Amino acid sequence: MSEIKNDHKVPCAYKDLCNGCQFLDLTYGDQISGKIFELSELLKNAEIPYHGKIQFVSAGASHLRDRLDFSLEDGRLGLYRKDKKEITDLEICAQLSPTLQAWLTEFRTLKLPFKKASVRLRVGPNGERGVWLDLANIDIKALLDEKNMLHFLQQRSFVELGQRRKVPTWQGYEFKLKEPEARPWFQTWVNETAVPLFCQVASFTQPSHRANKLICNIIQSWVGKFPQGRVIEFGSGIGNLTIPALASCAHLTACEIDGLSLEGLEKTLERLPASLTSLREKIEIHRGDFQRKLLQDFANFDGALVNPPRSGLMGFLDPLEKMAAEKRPKFFIYMSCFPESMMTDLKRLKNVGYSVNDIKIVDQFPQTSHYEVLALLQRK
């Protein structure tokens, strides 16, 4: 389950300075117990009955992350300190996978002249390197004009700039910015078949390739408990949960607000592995703000798969409260790394006749107070 024994602690030279990890003073076993206890208390306080055992699923106690957002400030590249609003300059980090650590080490040889910036480093499933520099417009212009730094970076990685994720392209004498480009920066899974997911370096994905496989296995297994089900998915993003769910259901309606994410999903569907091309015939994609208003009728679906933002499902659940009990979907699969807002939604689902049949913690964020929760609910 873990790269170290549960009674050991992960060593870190920055543990007294960096605020990135809150639990380095605890053994991994104590972290596991603490997260299970916290989730149990949240369920109890929200008056959500669950009589089973919370399963804790882990890919390891450290070195999982294949992407991380760093802050650059006054020459320091890292994460904020515990004691003051200042950046801890990180040369190494126990959160990073070996391939991401190697990328950080090489990236740090480039001394960026900007006073302040956000930097995302990412490695793809096959070791591809990417960097997203979120800079002020004046700094983006300076970088384009200076040229040498961008040449250095592009010889080593794929580069995206600014909030709009523009791609600098060399025109022979100067750099020009072109529109965002979707590449296979992440992957999902159907059984043991890896499916490349197309997105940007700056796109939201789960943080770890290894931990994500555990999530995909759970989703495919749970959807498979309801053979030939028709599923509506809220927050499909680039398709990380969509693809394993598609493999186990008769039809899936994917709902997402972000246009770039949907472009990535469509590209993923176009380039599915040969053994999975039939999945294209089972999906329908809709774009819209489904937290405000759901245009689809829940009565047309056997189940819902949801992975909402921090704010939770909000208006997505409103139609359920107006439906006859027998017309509501038979099951809900809810995934969230924000257990507090998740409890609010689970309580609403309980009030319209759903009960929690299974709940798991997937520890994507070892050594920190954060964790991913997956819950399977069924209509009574």
User: What number of helices (H) and strands (E) belong to the chain?
Assistant: 8, 18
As averages over each run of 10 residues, the pLDDT of the chain (380 residues) reads 70 96 97 98 97 96 97 95 95 98 97 92 98 96 95 97 97 96 98 98 98 98 96 96 98 94 98 98 89 78 95 89 93 97 96 97 97 97
Spatial contact of 265 and 288, defined as CB atoms under 8 Å apart: no
Report, in angstroms and rounded to the nearest whole number, the Rg of the chain calculated over CA atoms. Answer: 22
Q: Residues near 62 by Cβ (< 8 Å), separated by ≥ 6?
A: 3, 4, 10, 94, 95, 366, 367
Residues 57, 60, 61, 62, Cα dihedral to 10°: -140
- Say how many Å lie between the first and final Cα of the chain, rounded: 34
Spatial separation of the C-alpha atoms in residues 220 and 272, rounded to whole Å: 17
Phi, psi (rounded to 5 degrees) for 110: -95, 120
Phi, psi (rounded to 5 degrees) for 143: -65, -45
With CA atoms as reference, report the closest residue to 117 among 87, 153, 73.
73
The residue with tokens 């760093």 is 70
The residue with tokens 């950046």 is 87
pLDDT confidence of residue 291? 67
Spatial contact of 356 and 54, defined as CB atoms under 8 Å apart: no
Spatial separation of the C-alpha atoms in residues 54 and 119, rounded to whole Å: 36
pLDDT confidence of residue 321? 87
pLDDT confidence of residue 3? 46
The residue with tokens 């009565």 is 299
Under DSSP, is residue 325 helix (H, G, I), strand (E, B) or coil? helix
Given 93, 199, 255, 337, which residue is catalytic? 337
The sign of the CA dihedral 343, 349, 351, 356 is negative
Residue 93: active-site member: no
Residue 114: other Cβ atoms inside 10 A: 18
**Strands annotated E in 245-351:** 251-256, 283-287, 303-306, 331-336
The whole-model pTM stands at 0.95
pLDDT confidence of residue 2? 40
Spatial contact of 57 and 216, defined as CB atoms under 8 Å apart: no
